[in-house]
């Protein structure tokens, strides 16, 4: 079936134990063209995912955090299905736990419905980009650089070469996969599977500094990694995955 706009998450599974809140969220998303299916608990959600195709799952983990984490683990076996978690837990370890269990994004309550919609769209766009990347990809090109994804060897169009450490490579790849999006240190730590303790010791900042020195040392090279004040780091240009 052809969808009106495949850039939008059309079919959404909303997992929320608060019936009134679920009705309000469903109404808000429905008037914006989305078809929302509501599951009141993780068990219902698992059954629905087995029987129905969805573009996106939104999990409100406020009422039963443990069940929400178990559902995330279950859904992680479906990497093509992006998941956004909403919760009233705002501490960094809680956000990291959700991201480590497979969430693609995390929103702390209270949530403005327009921000929820924007985050849903962003998660869906990233998932579609990732799905469009073939498993046989060997390199990625960005602002004059070509990075070999097997050897971690980068070559600039000027001919200068550099080798990335494993930590530098994984951090750069995450930034490229989320190009255009500012990522906090905590989010970068979760996506690169670095523990929270390392975050607080500013290891992310150290790796960013190393990457900048390696990638921007070439005369005339354009800046690769931007600092977004109060938000984190981002790569501002869309890479070319080959």
Res 51 pLDDT > 50: yes
- The arrangement of strands across the sheet holding 56-60 comes to 35-39, 11-15, 56-60, 83-87, 105-108
Q: Where are the beta strands (DSSP E) in 77-218?
A: 83-87, 105-108, 139-142, 145-148, 153-156, 161-163
pLDDT, residue 42, reads 93
Average model confidence (pLDDT) across the chain: 84
**Cα–Cα nearest to 96, from 27, 193, 28:** 193
- The answer to whether 35 and 10 have CB atoms below 8 angstroms apart is yes
Same fold, 11-132 and 139-241: no
pLDDT, residue 185, reads 83
What is the per-residue pLDDT across 197-239, written as a single tens digit (0 to 9) for each?
444 446 888 899 999 999 988 877 788 999 998 888 999 888 8
pLDDT, residue 133, reads 52
Domain 11-132 in CATH 3.20.20.70? The answer is no
Domain coordinates in residue numbering, the chain: 11-132, 139-241
Res 6 pLDDT > 60: no
pLDDT, residue 50, reads 81
Helix (H) or strand (E) segment spanning residue 21? helix 19-30
pLDDT, residue 198, reads 44
Say how far apart CA 143 and CA 239 lie, in whole Å.
Answer: 8
Res 180 pLDDT > 60: yes
Q: How far is CA 211 from CA 15, 65, 172, in A?
A: 40, 37, 8
For domain 139-241, the CATH architecture is Orthogonal Bundle (1.10)
- The answer to whether 78 and 130 have CB atoms below 8 angstroms apart is no
What is the per-residue pLDDT across 70-128, written as a single tens digit (0 to 9) for each?
898 888 777 778 999 999 887 788 888 888 888 888 998 899 999 999 999 988 888 77
- Summarize the confidence of residues 139-157 as an average pLDDT: 91
Distant-in-sequence contacts of 237-240, Cβ < 8 A, 24+ apart: 237/142, 237/143, 237/179, 238/179, 238/180, 239/140, 239/141, 239/142, 239/176, 239/179, 240/140, 240/141, 240/142
**Cα–Cα nearest to 218, from 146, 144, 140:** 144
């Amino acid at each position: 079936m052809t969808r009106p706009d495949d850039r939008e998450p059309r079919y959404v599974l909303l997992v929320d134990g608060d019936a009134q809140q679920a009705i309000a969220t469903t109404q808000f998303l429905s008037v914006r063209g989305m078809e929302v299916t509501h599951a009141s608990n993780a068990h219902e959600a698992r059954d629905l995912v087995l029987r129905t195709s969805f573009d996106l799952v939104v999990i409100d983990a406020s009422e039963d955090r443990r069940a929400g984490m178990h559902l995330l683990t279950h859904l992680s076996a479906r990497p093509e299905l992006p998941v956004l978690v909403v919760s009233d837990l705002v501490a960094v370890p809680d956000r990291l736990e959700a991201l480590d269990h497979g969430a693609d994004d995390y929103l702390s309550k209270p949530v403005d419905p327009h921000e929820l919609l924007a985050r849903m769209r962003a998660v869906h766009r990233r998932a579609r980009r990732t799905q469009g990347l073939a498993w046989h990809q060997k390199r990625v090109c960005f602002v004059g650089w070509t990075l070999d994804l097997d050897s971690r060897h980068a070559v600039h169009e000027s001919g200068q070469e550099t080798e990335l450490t494993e930590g530098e490579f994984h951090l750069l790849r995450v930034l490229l996969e989320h190009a255009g999006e500012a990522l906090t240190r905590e989010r970068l730590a979760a996506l690169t599977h670095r523990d929270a303790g390392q975050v607080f010791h500013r290891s992310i900042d150290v790796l960013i500094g190393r990457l900048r020195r390696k990638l921007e040392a070439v005369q005339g090279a354009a800046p690769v990694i931007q600092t977004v004040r109060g938000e984190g780091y981002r790569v501002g240009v869309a890479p070319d995955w080959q």
